[in-house]
Amino acid sequence: MKTMINVALPKGRLGEKVLAMFEKAGYECPSIHENNRKLIFENEEVGIRYFWVKPSDVSIYVERGAADIGVAGKDILLEYEPDVYELLDLDIGKCRMAVAAKKDFRDDPETTLRVATKFSNIARNYYHGLGRDIDIIHLNGSIEIAPILGLSDVIVDIVETGTTLLENDLVPFETVVPISARLIANKSSFKFKTEAIEAITAGIAAGIAAEVAEKQAAK
Amino acid sequence: MTLNEQVLKYDERMIYDLRELYRLHGYTRFKMGKFEEYDLYSKNKDFLVSDSVITFTDTNGKLMALKPDVTLSIVKNAKWQKGCVQKVYYNENVYRISRSTHAFEELMQAGLECIGDLDVMQLCDVMLLAAQSLQKISADFVLDVSHMGIVGAMMEEMHLPADAQNDLLAALGEKNTHGARAICLSNGVDDVACDRLLQLIRTYGPIGEILPALQALCADLPVESALCELTMIAEVLASNGFSSQIRLDFSVVHDIHYYSGIVFQGFVDGIPSAVLIGGRYDRLLRKMGKQGGAVGFAVYLDLLERLHREKRDYDADVLCLYRDEDDPTALSAAVSEWNKQGKSVLLQREIPTQMRFGEIVRFSAGGEEK
């Protein structure tokens, strides 16, 4: 019997793109496109079992071995630091983690910088690297409102196009780290399903390389 | 005393088996207290797996800690004698912060340390014990081996600042080739050194098969003794029937400031993280003002619960219900009779809720009624 690989896919637009990459690499699963309420989809022929989970939970499923592999944003990996292998940069879901503030913001190094963010660990590590004294204000959403209401001096958040920031009179000042989707693997699964996981990784990597080559040829 | 193995839980049986294994290789038990002076850990914080230590002040005003690690306490007591090593094993609880819940947790560890005038012979013996420990847990195991001497030599030729070196070691630990390449590029590492490191990350497989490729990869690096150690270990383990299970994997990375030589991690199928972690930590000895070398490993026994979740059908074989007026002597005799048949008996006056029994018996002096 073929080794089955459990894959945790992030729900949403990014997940659909990821699924397309897996399918292009030969890991198709027709049942996942059926309109039903199933939660787990498998194709024994190619040895794959997919399930959709909340994007921020993918790394938990993989770290704890419920999924052998999965796709998570670099933001989640940096924030929660799961003990997993990061096998591939999928080059999709690209954005950046940035420091943003009101247009007229001026950093006064004599005061503690108040930083509002959903990503406390990333913000703490970033400012620790700069040797800057900060006060982290952990928020779970609507981060952009914090500097407007005077709750914080700056925010550390994901910036895709910057439109939301602009609409709220905020500007990105610094890039903390570029973000994209990564293929991750459970360390123990990698030991016991090495061939199957390496084959998936190689298949997806080949797909990415072909796409890059296509884009370059089109130029 | 006869030991009824059925009474022991899986992890308890494993402790027994491991202790016997280590005893047979000349190791003696190191018994230690739960507390240690905090000073010992504060001086060697990076050696600890978890940053936080539970501290308290004792009656003399001394700052104490619930021990987060066993190795430091053993090293503290190590004595040097030329041509000899000290061999101790332990079975202790340690107290650390859980990465997932951020709360303190109590972990049960068994392991061993070999400290003193260390040579390749002793190193091979420790590696063999690591493989045999894993084999006792499950036949389906993998022991991943790396060498900090080789990793260190590659890092050295890159002349990286400390931060970049730490980031690169983290990328190595994640098998993250794209991340490692980005770090090399942003730090101006030359292509040859960068490609060599990426190749090292990709190096994975049975040690006997992979060693020739590793030797070629490291041909112009000063790592002859490291390669020699790996070759010897591969040979000794192969001669003991371990070949495909012992793999070279340079994603096994321990702190370069403490670990100087061989480092390793053991996995068993069905447990999502490493159940055995070990390595050679001569640099810790230097930091603690000791002579010689040291190698050891710990088996994380609490993880084994995932492998064998033993479900008992009943809370007791027999529930014996008695009345206030029953004769205690007769009742005691009846229990002894059941015990002789190997049955466990729970005496109660009423049937407890949420418990299950093989049989429920109402005691009466003239004979039990079912």
Q: pLDDT of B149-206, one tens digit each?
A: 999 999 999 999 988 999 999 999 999 999 999 999 999 999 999 999 999 999 999 9
The answer to whether residues A89 and A188 belong to one domain is yes
Q: Tell me where in chain B the CATH 3.30.930.10 domain(s) lie.
A: 1-117+281-299, 138-277
Higher pLDDT, B101 or A61: A61
Question: Is B287 strand, coil or helix?
Answer: helix
| pLDDT given for residue A162 in this prediction | 84
CA of B111: how far to CAs of B32, B159, B250, B263, in Å? 13, 36, 23, 15
Which residue from B140, B124, B144 is spatially nearest to B274, judged by alpha carbons? Answer: B144
pLDDT over threshold 90, residue A195:
yes
Name the residue of chain A whose CA is nearest to B102's CA: A80
Decide the pairing of beta strands B141-147 and B246-249: parallel
Both A131 and A78 in one domain: the answer is no
Secondary structure (DSSP) of A145-172: HHHHTTS-SEEEEEESSSHHHHHTTEEE
The CATH-assigned architecture of domain B138-277 is 2-Layer Sandwich (3.30)
From the list B178, B179, B273, the residue facing A188 with the nearest CB is B273
Q: How far is CA B152 from the centre of its chain?
A: 24
State how beta strands A5-10 and A69-73 pair. parallel
Query: Do A174 and A184 have their domain in common?
Result: no
User: What CA–CA distance (Å, rounded) separates A28 from A21?
Assistant: 10
State whether A191 and B144 contact (CB < 8 Å): yes
Domain boundaries, position A15:
5-93+180-218
Question: Which alpha helices (DSSP H) does B240-327 contain, by range?
Answer: 282-287
Pairs across A and B, CB distance < 8 A: 49
Burial of residue B306 (CB within 10 Å: 0-12, 13-18, 19+) is middle
Q: Quick one: how many helices (H) and strands (E) in chain A?
A: 8, 11
Residues A106 and A137 in one domain: yes
Q: In what order do the strands lie in the sheet with B345-348?
A: B345-348, B316-321, B357-362
The answer to whether B273 contacts A88, with C-beta atoms less than 8 Å apart, is: no
| Chain B residue whose CA is closest to A84 | B174
pLDDT at B93: 87
Is residue B61 within 8 Å of residue B273, measured between CB atoms? no
pLDDT score for B169: 95
Q: Are residues A197 and A146 in the same domain?
A: no
The single-letter DSSP state of residue A187 is H
CA atoms within 13 A on the CB side of A165: 20
Residues A86, A101 within the same domain: no
Does the beta carbon of A6 lie under 8 angstroms from any beta carbon of chain B?
A: no
pLDDT band at A68 (very low <50, low <70, confident <90, very high): very high
If one looks up domain B1-117+281-299 in CATH, what number appears? 3.30.930.10
Residue B1 banded pLDDT, cuts 50, 70, 90: low
**pLDDT the model gives residue A37:** 80
CATH code, domain carrying A122:
3.40.190.10
Q: Using CA atoms, how far apart are residues B237 and B3, in angstroms rounded to an integer?
A: 32
Indicate if the pLDDT at residue B312 is higher than 80: no
Please state the rounded mean pLDDT for residues A108-114.
91
Total count of domains within chain A: 2
